[in-house]
Every structure is written in structure tokens, then in C-alpha cells.
Structure 1
Amino acid sequence: MPQKSILITGCSSGIGLHAAHTLKERGYRVFATARKQVDVDALIDKGLESIRLDLDEQHSIEQALEEILQRTSGTLDFLFNNGAYGQPGAIEDLPTEVLRQQFESNVFGWHHLTRKVLKVMRQQGHGRIIQNSSVLGVVCMPYRGAYNASKFAIEGLTDTLRLELKDSPIKVSLIEPGPIISQFRANAAAKFKQNIDWQASKHYESYKAQLDRLEKTEVTTPFTLGPEEVTAKLILALESKKPKARYRVTLPTHLFALLKRLLTTRTLDRLLIKG
């Protein structure tokens, strides 16, 4: 059986890095991409086949995919869209350009890459696309508006794509993790300080508590799991004969998906504000 190939974005740490190593050990040909060349070099040093891919730059996306297709003689079996970051801040403190940048990385870059990969998959007659969403693509939390909006957009685009491809040999799935051990909080704290004038905000007191939480270690609740839990769901999405539309990871994701169906909006809002 020919070796299956997969392109993974956002492999510098966390979910992407764990998935890349695990799938390589499992026999896949893994193309582990990252935005910064220093991270690409580190991935190569770790024994992974790595290429620079910056989701903010269409040319970088196209160049990376072209390089991968040259190495595989024009085929690609799987795409795992994973690279993203979180931009904290209240909606009223969120500059429009900062929101636009959140969508550039978390939505528009994914969309551009997915469209390019779909052409390859249609030509070869098979393929699977897995999108790494979030519990914040299921419910919203205060001060996470930019990230909430980007993940809700990914959920909508992915659901629509799945419907449009229902009669094709290309399968589409979502993974919806809750809190996972990664650099996500540290990166979010940096973006918060960089882009939000929080000390002059009406939300100053809330921001202080939020920033304290972001700057602490990733393991802040008993519900936080390791990236291996996401990789396990990814393997199911890649290898199941009939992959699910959604794979939920962590108790908060399962719980909030259920509560969203059972509770009134007002009651759910009270829970989310406390969270």
C-alpha cells in the first residue's frame, strides 16, 4: 500500500507537533509546516519533513503546497488545518484591523489552502480535510470575541463544505477541543498586550484577572488534557471508513454542546460569564 501523505499546519508546538510525530510513527508521510523558519528548522532537526507555510500570506501557502506536490508527484491524501491563535479583548476594545488579522490567520488562510488542496483531491479522486475548531466554535465566552468569531466562521464554512462534497469521495470533519496543553495561552497573552489598550479600558478590572489566568501555566483546570487526545480524534477522522462530522475533545466541549441544546440562552449566558 502506498504511503499516505498529510499536510499539517501549525506544527511549531502543541497539537500540531504531537500530531506530526504520531502520524509519522504511524507510517504517514507528514509535511509539518510552521510560520517561522526557525520553527521549520527545529522540526527538521526533530526528524520531520517540514516546510515554511505562513497562513497570513497567500504566496507562502501556494509556494508550500507546490513544494509538497513536487515531492509527492502531485498527490496529497489529507489536510489537517490546525494553525491558529487567540486574540483576547472585549469587542469594544478590539481594533477592526486586529479582528481582520485574526480572520486572516484563522479563517482566510485556511480557506485559501483548502481551496487549493481540494483541486488536488478532486483530480486524484479521494481525500480528507480535517479542521481543528474549538469549544469556542460551539459557545462564546466574554473577552474572546475575535477568536469566537473566527471559530464560528470555521464551523460554518466546514459544515457547508461537507454538504457540498456529500456526493464526492472527499470527506470533511471538525475536531472541537476544549482546554489542551499548548502555548495557546502564552501566545494569547502576548497578543493581548500587543493589541489591546487594556489599562485605559472600562474592562480594566476584568482584564487584570484574565491576564493573570493567561500568564499562568496551561494546566489550570482538571479538564485540561494533553494534545494526544486531539491526535486520537484526528486518527479516527483519517482512518474511519465513515468519519464523523464532529469529534469533540474534553469534558467542557461535550458539556457545553449539550447545555446549548438544553438550556435557555439566558441561563447559558450566566454559566459562560462565570466561566
Structure 2
Amino acid sequence: MRTIFITGCSSGIGLISAITLKKRGYRVIASCRKKADQQKLIEQGFETVLLDVDDPESVKQAAQEVLTLTQGKIYALFNNAGFGVYGRLATISRAQLESQFATNFFGVHQLTQLLLPAMLEQNEGRIIQTSSIVGIIATPGRGAYSASKYALEAWSDVLRLELAKTNIKVCLIEPGPLKTYFSNNVNQTEKQNLVKNPPIAKRFTLPPEAVLPNLIHALEHPSPKIRYRVTKITKIANLAKRLLPDRLMDKILQNK
């Protein structure tokens, strides 16, 4: 039985992934930040670990708990926990930007660093990251969140290259708009000027289950993809970024 540790399992992508992989025969260790959410996971039959990725000590303790539970035998890490700080860059403080990166990037780095030696020892493993469409294109009002995902994309590219001679694969899942609680938990810096998805986004919005075929492929295929783009708008955005001049992309993103 292969073991996977998933962060951010209180709802959305993390929860549906944990449920699906458990049914598929994986040993799932699910993490969340709040004790109330942990209790709900326990009631669903999950092994759980409390984890606040903002807190280096919490990350250290969670990693040690995972290694103890698995006796150092862990196959996969799904770095899924994250949140968004939205607002014009001029309205975002250094502390808010640091908080954004602590959750979406620094915590990923530390947790992976602590669990990677176990994968290297068995020369097998998968490290999968939840990125975003804004890790491909940066849009007004999402600068902080986008910057953290751009950083995650670059970091994952380098880690993949550094592990190229091992049997540990690094994959990115890049969702577009999904029907999750993510938007409800966004930290908006301008209450009178809320950042919202354009109306057209509703046409491309999918349930979190849309991620599952990509996650399973990333976990089980001998040669997984480097990037899995979820929703049509993510695929269109990637193609446009590659083909269109920067100034034309600017006009499109400014709705001009």
C-alpha cells in the first residue's frame, strides 16, 4: 500500500483527493490547520496530522509525525494547502505579502525538504503541487497570490531538474476556476473594491473533482506530465501566453 501525505484537507481539492485516494487503496495521511476540521477527518476514517504551514515549528512537527507514522516509508507528498491575498499591490503590506508566501511557498519548501530524504532513501516518490492559472498569467488584483504561484512553479522546475537522476517525479497541477471554498477564504485588502472573477469565468468553472484524473495520472503513470492544466481557460491562457505579444496580453488582461 502506497502512502500519500496531503496538506489542506479541510475542504475542496484536498478533501476530495483524500477521499478518492483512500477508496483507491492508498494510505492517506490528511492534514488541516484547525482541530475541528481534524476531528471531521478522523470521523471519516483518516489518519490525520495538524499542520499550519505558516508556522515553521508546526511544519517540522508535522513532518516528524508523518515519518513516524509511516516508519519513513512515504511515496507521495501533495502540497495542496494555500490561500489568496487579493488587492492592488499598492494596498498590500509587507506582512501580508510575507504571509502569502509563508503559506503558498515557504511552507511547501520546508515540508518537502523534510520529507524528501525518506523518498531518496527508497529512490521512489512523487511530489505534486497545487499551482494555479495565475501561476501562468498574472492578473490585476491578484499580484501577491500570483507571485507566490510563479515562485512555486519556478521552484518545482528546479527541484525536478535536481532530482532528474532519481525515481522521484515532480508535477504541477494548474487549476483554473473551481467550485471550492477558496474564494470565500480570500483575504481582500480593499473592501470597497473587491477582486472578483469575470462573469465569463462561470462558463469554465468546474467542480474540484476535475482535478482527480490529473492527480491520479501524476501519482500512477511511470512518466507523469510536468504540468497538468485543469479547465479549458487554463489551457487557453497558457497558449495565449506562449503565442501573443506581451502588450497584446496586457490589453486582454486589462479588458481593453
TM-score tier after normalising by the smaller chain length: over 0.9
Q: What residue ranges of structure 1 are gaps of 5+ in the alignment?
A: none
May I ask how many residue pairs the two structures share in their alignment? Answer: 256
1:89 Cα deviation (Å)? 0.8
Aligned counterpart in structure 2 of residue 121 of structure 1, from 119, 122, 128: 119
The 4+ residue runs of structure 1 with deviation greater than 2 A are: none
1:274 paired with 2:217, answer: no
Contact preservation (8 Å) 1:8, 1:31:
yes
| Distance of 1:141 and 1:48 partners within structure 2 | 37
Matches of 1:260 and 1:242 in 2, distance apart?
Answer: 26
Q: Is the 8 A contact 1:78 1:127 kept in 2?
A: yes
Deviation digits for residues 102-151 of structure 1 (CA, Å, limit 9, x no counterpart): 00010000000011111111112211101110000000110001100000
| 1:246 alignment partner, one of 204, 227, 232 | 227
Cα distance between partner residues in 1 of 2:255 and 2:9: 33
Q: Residue deviations 1:159-191, cap 9 Å, x none?
A: 011011111111111111000111111101xx2
Does residue 56 in structure 1 map to residue 74 in structure 2? no
The within-5 A match list for 1:61-140 is 61-140=59-138
* Residues 170 and 158 (structure 1), Cα distance of their counterparts in 2 relative to 1, 3 Å cut: same
Asked if 2 retains the 8 angstrom alpha-carbon contact of 1:24 and 1:30, the reply is yes
Deviates more, 1:124-133 or 1:78-87: 124-133
> 1:175 maps to what in 2?
173
- Normalised by the size of structure 1, how large is the TM-score? 0.89
SS across alignment from 1:24: helix
What is the distance in 1 between the residues matched to 2:234 and 2:224?
Answer: 19
5+ residue gaps in structure 2? Answer: none
Superposed counterparts of 1:222-241, under 5 Å: 222-241=203-222
Give matches, 1:155-194, under 5 Å: 155-188=153-186, 191-192=187-188
The TM-score normalised by the length of structure 2 is 0.96
Using the TM superposition, give the Cα deviation of residue 219 of structure 1 relative to its aligned residue in structure 2, in angstroms. Answer: 11
In the TM superposition, what is the alpha-carbon distance from 1:274 to its structure 2 partner? Answer: 2.3
Determine if contact 2:31/2:51 at 8 Å carries over to the other structure. yes
Distance 1:115 1:170 in 2: 13
User: Paired residue for 1:8?
Assistant: 6
Give the match for residue 31 of structure 1.
29
Cα root mean square deviation, aligned: 1.8
Q: Does structure 2 conserve the Cα–Cα contact (< 8 Å) formed by 1:11 and 1:20?
A: yes
Asked whether the equivalents of residues 181 and 219 of structure 1 are also in contact (C-alpha less than 8 Å), the reply is no
Q: CA deviation at 1:220?
A: 6.0
1:265 and 2:246 aligned: yes
User: Structure 2 CA distance, aligned partners of 1:48 and 1:270?
Assistant: 47
1:219/1:28 Cα in 2 relative to 1: closer, same or farther (>3 Å)?
farther
